[in-house]
Structure 1
Amino acid sequence: MAQGPTEAMVRCCRPFLVVLGFVLVSLAPASVEARDSGVCSTGAITCLEQGWNEKERSWWYSTSQGSRLLPLSWALALEQSANTAGFFSEDNFSRYGYLPSPPGDGNPHGLPVGFAVDQDDSSKADLMCERFPETCNAFVMRKPWVGMTCSACHTNDIVFEGKTIRVEGAPTLADFQGLLEGLLDALVMTHDDDAKFDRFARAVLQADLSVESRRSLRLQLAEQIAWQTLLQQRNGREFRSGFGRLDAQGHILNKVAIIGGGPELEDALKSDAPSSYPFIWNTSQQDKVQWNGIARNILNLSILGKQTDIGALVRNTSEVIGVFAHVEISPKWKSGLLGYRSSLRAAEMIDLERQLARLKSPRWPEDILPKIDWTKAERGQVHFEAECAQCHEKLAWDDTRTPIKAKMSSLLSSGTDMSLACNTFMHQANAGNYEGRRPFMIQGEPIDSPDFTRNMLTNAAVGAVIGKVDELAGKFFDDVFDQAFFWRRAAEEAVDGKTYLPGVKDQRKKELARACLTSPEATREPDESVLVYKARPLNGIWATAPYLHNGSVPTLYDLLLPSPLRLVLDSEEEMSTPGPGDRPSVFHVGSREFDPVRIGFKTGPEPVHQAADGRITAPFEYRVYDTDGAPVPGNYNSGHEYGTDALSEAEKWELVEYLKTL
C-alpha cells in the first residue's frame, strides 16, 4: 500500500512546495478581522469556549469555498412553491433545520449559517457552458452566486429549558435532501406559473427587464431545472435520509460521474447509504478522515508561517465538488496535467482548514445543563478504560496538536451497517471524459468505461486543485488517497453458504453485500482497507447525537444496549427479533431539545417547526426495520458492542456520566 511521503521525498520536493505555498498563501483572504457576527453577543445564544472569537465565527459561516447553487439574485427573489413567501427566508430554511444567521458585514443578505456568496466577474467564471449555454451567454456566471460552505453541515444548536447553546463543528440536524427537493419544486413552479415568473423576473432583472431578458431568464431557469432534476435522479429520492443525515459520498460520486459527461450506467447505485454528519474538531490531527478513512491528511508544512495540509486541500475539494462547485472535465488535454477549470476557492479552503485546526471540542456547560456527578463519573472512567480506551484514545478538550492515529475496524468485526463503505467501494459509472486518464494524473491505471467512480473522483479532485495552483502539483497529491485502494478491483463473490443481510428482501442489496464482504478488500488488515469504519477520540461526544456513523442510535445510553441485527449469519443460525432491552428500532429525529440524562436529543413525534403560514414540519421517523419487519440496509443500528454487554445497568449509567466529561 502506498505510504505517506518520506523525509527524502519532502527534502526533494521542498523547493517546489515552498513556491506552491507562496502562491496559495498570497491568494489567501485577509478579511477575518473585518467582520462581526453578533451571533453570540445578542444574548439569545450561548456560545461555548471553543477557541474562536465572534469575527472568526462570522468568517467561518460566510466565506465561500466555490460552491454555486443559484445566482444570488435568484435566491433573493425565489418564492416557495406553495406560496409567495421567500424560499431563502429564515422561516423556510428553519423548516429544513438550517440555522439563522443575523445580517452583518459578512452576511448582508441574512443568509442561513453556511450559505455564502461567491463571485468571479472574469471570464474564468464561464464554466460548464455546454450544460448552461444560456446562463453563460447572459454572463450570469460572472454575477454573485449562493452556495454552501462547511459550516452549513457542521454547526448545531442545542436547546435546553429555553436556552440555546451554539456548538461549532458539531453535526447539523438539517434535512439536505428535503431542501434540494423543495428548491427544485420552487424552480419548476416559478418556470411554469406565469404570475410567479413575472414577480421573479421583475425582482431579478429590475432595470434590465425586457422581452428579450425575460425570455433568456426562463431559458436559464429551464437549464437549472434540468440540472437539478438530473442530480436528483442519479441520487434517488426513494430512500429518505431525514434530518441530520446525508449520503455525502454517494452524492459526490454521482456528481463526479455526471460532470464527466458519460451516460448513466444501468443499475447504477443510488445515494441510499446516508451517514450522520461527522463532528470536525481535531480533524487536522487525524491521519485518516471520513467515516471509512478513505482520505488522509498527508503532508502538513509550515509555509510563510502558515500550516498547509495538501491532503486536506484535496479532501475539501472533493466535498465542494459534491455541493455545487462548477467543474469542467474538459475533453481536451487528455492527460489532465494542466488541471481542470473550476469555481473552487483554493486559498479560502486553506484558510478555513487552518482556522478549523484551532477549534476546540465543546465542554459540558454545567451552568446551563445539569451538573455532572463527578463521583459517578470517576467510576465510569474505570469502565471506559476497560472497554473503550483501546479504540478511543483520550484527548484533552483543548488539545489541538497531538497527532491522532485512527483505529480502524473491519465491517465484519464491527458489525455496523455496511452500506456506506460498500457503496463507496463498489460504485461504478461510465467514464465519459475521464476515460483514458489516470486517477492521479501521472500515476494509476488508465480509467476504463465503465470503471469505479472513486477513480474518477480522484482525477476530478486532484485536477481541480492543479487547475487552481500549478500544472506540476499533481506529483505531490499521489498519497492523498490510498492509491492501492483506488487501483484495486472488486473480486468475484465467493460462495460460502452464509446468509448476507439476513431478513432483507431486496435481492440486489443482498448480492451487493455478498460481493463486498467476500472481496479481498474485506479481509485486508483494517489499516490497509477501506471496508472499515473509524474510531476516534470522544472529546465532545456529548454534543454529537445521533450516534454511529449512520445516526442509527439516538443517545449515548442507547449505544450501550445490544442490537439483534447481524450483517452475516451462518446458514444454521437464526436472527433474533428486537426486544425491550435492545437499542430503539423506531425513533424521531429533528428536535434540538436536549436530553441530559440519556445524552442526545428528544426523540418524540412532536413537530420540529411551525412556519409562518401555519404549516407543520414533522420530525423524521427513523426506522431500523420497515413496516413489514425487514431490516433496512443503510439504517442498521448494529455493531459497536465491544464489552458493553458485560456492564450492569448501574455501570452503564456510570459510563454515560463519564462521557459527559470528555
Structure 2
Amino acid sequence: MKITLSILFAVLLSGCIAHPLEAPLPPAVVSEVPENWEQAQARKYQEKSNYIQSHSVAYDWFGNFAFSEIDGIPYIALKLLPKLAPRLWGSDENFLDAVGLFIDERQQSYPVARGIGFSGLSRAEAQGNIDYASFTCGACHIGRVRLESGQIDYLDGGVNTTFNIALFRVKLYQTLQMAYAGEAGDTKYQLLTQKLLDALDIVHQQNPIYFYNNFQTGDRNFDAGYEAAQIALFKQNAEQTIKQFAQRAEAEYEGFGALIAKNYAGLESEMLAGFPGMADATGLSAINGYISLRKIPIIKGLASVTLPPEPGITDFMSVWEQDKRRASWGESHTRLINGGGQWNGNVPMPIYRNLIAMLTLGLEKTDVRVAAFAEELLDGLPASPYPFNVDIGLAKKGQALFAEHCADCHQPKNGKVYDNLGTSMKRAYVVGTLLNYAAHKQLYANCAPDTTIQLEGKDIKPCAEFDGVSLDGKKDLLMSPNNEHRGYNARPLSGIWAQAPYLHNGTVPTVYHLLVPDERPASFIKSRLDYDSQYLGFVWNAEQAAKPNEGYLFQANAIPALSNKGHDKDIVEGKKTYRLNWSGDKPGAFAIIEYLKTL
C-alpha cells in the first residue's frame, strides 16, 4: 500500500527549517548599497554564470533529469499527446507552452520543453528500457523575466511563474477521454494504444528524429538510431505500458477532484483550470495516498482521510542561496536549529527537502541522485541579479529603513516561525500527524544512512550525515514536529524582486502593495513576464502594456486560503516595534523598494 506517499506530499514544497532557536540571533548584517549599480550588476551576473559553470553536472540534473528511471509518463506517449488532441495543447514548436513550460533558448536542441526530463539521460544502459518522462526541478525553479529590450533573462533557481501543473493533469485526462471516443473497459485502452501507435508511425515516417531531435549531451547521442531502438522497445509491450499510464492519469484526475471537493468548495472551476505559478503541493502529492486507498474496497470510503485537512495553495518559491537558510546542530547534536526561510519550513535537511518534493509525484524508485545533485547546486547558487536600473541615492536611504524595520527578521538562519502577521494560517495546518509520520517513513525508506548512490563516478552515502554528524538513530529529525511550524518563516531577501507576487499564497502583486496594504488590489494579472520596476513585481495591472494573452486574472480573497491580508500591521518583537504598514510614508516604502533591488 502506498499510503506513505500521501504523506510525503504533505511537506512537499514547504521546504526548509522551522525550528526554534537555542539563543537569540545576533544583530543582522545589512548588505551595503554598491556605489555603481551597473558594475555590481555585471559582477553578480558573472558570479552566477561562473557558479553554474563550475557546477555544470549538478545543474543538468537539476534542470533536465527525470525523477525516476522506471516510472512516469512513457516519453514517446508524452510527445504524441498533441497528435491525439491538438486543440488542447500548444504550438507545433512546443505543445507544452499550453501549460507554461517553455523552450529554453540556451539549449535549443533539447527535444522537449524545459522542465521535462527523460530517463535516457540517466540510465546506465542506453537501451535497457523505454524512456519515462517526468517533471524536473527546473519545471518550477527555472523562471523568466522579459527585459526592456524584449530579450528573456533566465532565472535559474527562481520561479517559473507560468507553469501550471494542475492544468497539465486536467489536459492529460481530457486528451485520454477524447481518444477513448466513448469506449469503456479494456476496449478504451486498446483504442488508445492503437491511436498512439498509428500516430507514432506517421510522425516517425515524416521525421526520424521527431522524438529526440538528435539531441546530444555528454557521451550520449539521442540520434535516429537511438530513436528507432526506443520505438521498437515501446512497441514490444505497448498495450500494457499505455494502459498502466492511462489508469494512473485517470486516478490522479479523480484524486484531484476529491481534493477540490474537500478543500476548495466554491472554487471548483478555477481550481480545475489551475493557477500558473501556484499549486497546492501538499494536496497534489496527497492524492497518491488517496489513489492507493481507493483500490482497497474495505476502506475505499476512508480514502479522503489521506487528503490535507486545509487548503494549502501556495506560490512556487525561489530556491537559490540555500546556505543562508541552512540549519545547524544544537550543542547536543540531537536537534537542528537556526535555519529557515521557506514558507513554514518543516524539513530541516536539504537532501530530504529536495527528495520530498520529488516524492510528491508518486513515482516508483525515486532517483536519489537528483536530490543529491540539487543539494550540491542550490547550497551556494547565487540569486539572479535585478536586471534593471537602480537609483543608488534612494537605495541608500532605503538601506537605513531596511536595517531598522526588516533586517532582524529577514536575516540568514532565522528559524523562527511567525504566526502574528495576520496572514492566512490555512497553509500552516496542512500537515497532520498522519502525514508527518508517513513522511518520516517514506523519506527514510528512500534515503537511509546506509543508502549508497554514485555521483560523478564515486560511491557516496548522501544521507549518512549532516554537517559532519552521523544520522544513525536520528530518523525523527527528517521532519520537524508539527508544533514547531505553525506559521511562516521570514526568509532572507536575496533576489526578492523575482519572487513576485508576495505572501506565501501569491495574493499581493508587488512589493509596493506589500508595504502599502491600503492599496492592495482585489484582483490583478498574474504570470506575465514583463516587469514593473517602479512597484517591484511582474506587470500586474490589466491596463499596463504586456504581451497579448499573457497572464491570467487572479482574484484574491476568493476563499480564506487566498486572503491578501497579512504583513500589514506593525508588530512588536521584544522591546522593539517594527513598521510593516508604510501607507502613511510612501517615500519610505519606495526607498525600501529601491534598496531591495540591490540584494
In 2: Cα distance, 1:265 partner to 1:217 partner: 26
Q: Quote the Cα distance in structure 1 between the aligned partners of 2:128 and 2:516.
A: 52
Bigger fraction of residues in helix: 2
- 2: CA distance, partners of 1:165 / 1:78: 30
CA-CA distance at 1:463 after TM superposition? 1.5
Q: C-alpha deviations, 1:130-186, integer Å up to 9, x for none?
A: xxxxxxxxxx99421001121111111101331211111111111111121112212
Q: What is the CA–CA distance in structure 2 between the aligned matches of 1:86 and 1:244, rounded to whole Å?
A: 18
Deviation at 1:197, TM superposition (A): 5.3
The residue type paired with residue 375 of structure 1 is: G
The answer as to 2:295 corresponding to 1:363 is no
Residue 383 (structure 1) aligned to one of 397, 401, 424 = 401
Distance 1:169 1:72 in 2: 25
Aligned mates of 1:624, 1:415 — CA distance in 2: 15
2:159 corresponds in structure 1 to: 171
Distance in 2 (CA, whole Å) between partners of 1:364 and 1:272 is 33
- Residues 611-630 of structure 1, C-alpha deviations (whole Å, 9 max, x = no match): xxxxx85633221234xxxx
What secondary structure does 2:143 align onto? Answer: strand
Decide whether aligned partners of structure 1 residues 592 and 48 sit closer, same or farther in structure 2, where only a CA change above 3 A counts. Answer: farther
Deviation digits for residues 580-621 of structure 1, max 9, x if unmatched?
A: x331111111211111111111124489999xxxxx856332
Any idea what the Cα deviations from partners look like across 1:404-460, whole Å, max 9, x if unmatched? 2333211xx1111111112224xxxxxxxxxxxxxxxxxxxxxxxxx6222112212
Corresponding position of 1:637: 564
- 1:112 equivalent to 2:110? Answer no
- 8 Å contact kept, 1:251–1:322: yes
Could you tell me how far 1:346 is from its partner in structure 2? 1.6
Asked if residue 66 in structure 1 is aligned to residue 2 in structure 2, the reply is no
Deviation at 1:316, TM superposition (A): 1.9
Which residues in structure 2 correspond to 1:474-485 (within 5 Å)?
475-482=473-480, 484-485=481-482
- Taking a change above 3 Å as real, the CA distance of residues 246 and 357 of structure 1, as seen in their structure-2 partners, is same
Report the AA paired with residue 295 of structure 1: V
Within a 5 Å distance, the mapping from 1:622-661 to structure 2 comes to 622-626=554-558, 632-641=559-568, 642=570, 643-646=579-582, 647-661=584-598
Counterpart secondary structure, 1:478? helix
Kept in 1: contact 2:90–2:96 (CA 8 A): yes
Aligned pairs for 1:238-277 within 5 A: 238=268, 240=271, 241-259=274-292, 263=300, 264-266=302-304, 268-269=307-308, 272-277=311-316
CA-CA distance at 1:59 after TM superposition:
4.5
- 1:228 — aligned with what? 252
**Correspondence list, 1:446-525, <5 A:** 452-466=434-448, 468-469=451-452, 475-482=473-480, 484-485=481-482, 521=483
Deviation track 1:201-248 (CA, whole Å, cap 9, x = no partner) reads: 1355855898x9665466345423433334323433725351211111
Give the TM-score of the pair, scaled to structure 2.
Answer: 0.68
Match of 1:304 in 2: none
> Which one of 127, 143, 150 corresponds to residue 156 of structure 1?
143
Cα 1:357–1:418 shift into 2, 3 Å: same
The alignment status of 1:538 with 2:523, answered yes or no, reads no
Q: Which residue of 2 aligns with 1:18?
A: none
Q: Aligned equivalents of 1:217 and 1:323: distance in 2?
A: 18
Tell me the distance in 1 between the aligned counterparts of 2:86 and 2:368: 39
In structure 1, runs of 5+ residues without a counterpart are 7-45, 126-139, 297-310, 327-342, 394-402, 426-450, 486-520, 522-528, 563-580, 611-615, 627-631
What's the RMSD between the two structures over aligned residues?
A: 3.9
Residues 3/185 of structure 1: CA separation in 2 closer, same or farther (3 Å cut):
closer
Q: Distance in 1 between matches of 2:287 and 2:323?
A: 27
Q: 1:118 to 1:231 in 2, by over 3 A?
A: farther
After superposition, residues 11-90 of structure 1 pair within 5 angstroms as 49-50=47-48, 51-53=51-53, 55-56=56-57, 57-66=59-68, 68-79=71-82, 82-83=85-86, 90=93
Residue 416 in structure 1 maps to residue 423 in structure 2: yes
May I ask how many residue pairs the two structures share in their alignment? 463
Aligned pair in 2 of structure 1 residues 113, 155: CA closer, same or farther (>3 Å)?
Answer: same
Partner amino acid for 2:322?
A: T
Q: Residues of 2 paired with 1:549 and 1:624: CA distance?
A: 13
Q: Which has the higher contact order (CA 8 A, sep 6+)?
A: 2
Q: 8 Å contact 1:152–1:172 — kept in the other structure?
A: yes
Contact 1:317 1:461 in 2 (8 A): yes
Instruction: State the alpha-carbon separation in 2 of the partners of residues 89 and 284 from structure 1.
Output: 41
Shift of 1:62: 1.1
2:534 — aligned with what?
597
For 1:136-151, list aligned pairs within 5 A.
Answer: 142-151=129-138
Instruction: Say if 2:496 and 2:596, in contact at 8 Å, map to a contact too.
Output: yes
How far residue 256 of structure 1 moved from its aligned partner, in angstroms, is 4.2
Are the counterparts in 2 of residues 69 and 148 from structure 1 also a CA contact under 8 Å? no
Residues 88 and 111 of structure 1 are in contact (CA less than 8 Å); yes or no, is this contact kept in structure 2? Answer: no
1:421-440 pair list within 5 angstroms: 421-425=428-432
Aligned partner of 1:111: which letter? V
Corresponding residue SS for 1:291: coil
Contact preservation (8 Å) 2:142, 2:158: yes
8 A contact 2:342–2:491 mirrored in 1: no
2:410 maps to which residue?
Answer: 392
Structure 2 unpaired stretches of 5+: 1-17, 23-43, 183-187, 202-230, 262-267, 326-338, 453-460, 465-470, 571-578
How many Å separate the matches in 2 of 1:227 and 1:637?
Answer: 33
The corresponding residue for 1:345 is 367
* Aligned with residue 344 of structure 2, among 274, 292, 311: 292
Mapped partners of 2:509, 2:19: distance in 1? 37
Indicate conservation of the 8 Å contact 1:235/1:270, yes or no. Answer: no
Distance (Å, rounded) in 2 between the aligned partners of 1:537 and 1:62: 27
Aligned twin of 1:437 = none
Change (3 A) 1:266 1:346: closer
| CA distance in 2: counterparts of 1:531 and 1:460, whole angstroms | 22
- The 3 A distance-change label for structure 1 pair 549 and 409 is same
Alignment check: 8 A CA contact 2:324 2:492 kept? no
Per the normalisation by structure 1, the TM-score is 0.62
The correspondence of residues 307-326 of structure 1 with structure 2, limited to 5 A, is 311-326=349-364
Q: Which amino acid aligns with 1:479?
A: L
